[in-house]
Homo-oligomer: A and B are copies of this chain.
């Protein structure tokens, strides 16, 4: 069991008190703005430790890993390619079909990642 140090507590609180998806760099920057200067390596290691403990979850985008609160039901993500907004959605049928597809190929499925790209409602309205 990793230690929940002051820095990690700060990181955890910040993630828990927001509904956003944070990547290490942005989170470190935002914390610094609020007076919590934490070394970037500590943020990376802290996030990994918190995820290992199950205190936060993550999703991987091509260029960065984003962390979010853990107390949510499983869901997948929709990313707006225009403004970067991340929305969540879930569909049990899709989940089931994925398992079936894996079984069909003899895969012992351990996880999956489904990301839908597109333009969100507000970006669409802006043209």
Given A62-B62, A89-B101, A91-B101, A108 and B119 touching (CB < 8 A)?
yes
Interface residues on A, range: 35 or more
Which positions 75-92 of chain A face chain B at CB distance < 8 Å?
78, 80-81, 87, 89, 91
Oligomer copy total? 2
A19 contacts chain B at the CB level, 8 A cutoff: no
Chain B nearest CB, measured from A95 CB (Å): 10
Which positions 49-93 of chain A face chain B at CB distance < 8 Å?
60-62, 65, 78, 80-81, 87, 89, 91, 93
Listed by A's residue number, 10 A-B pairs whose Cβ atoms lie within 8 Å are A78-B105, A87-B105, A98-B116, A105-B120, A108-B124, A109-B117, A112-B114, A112-B116, A113-B115, A113-B117
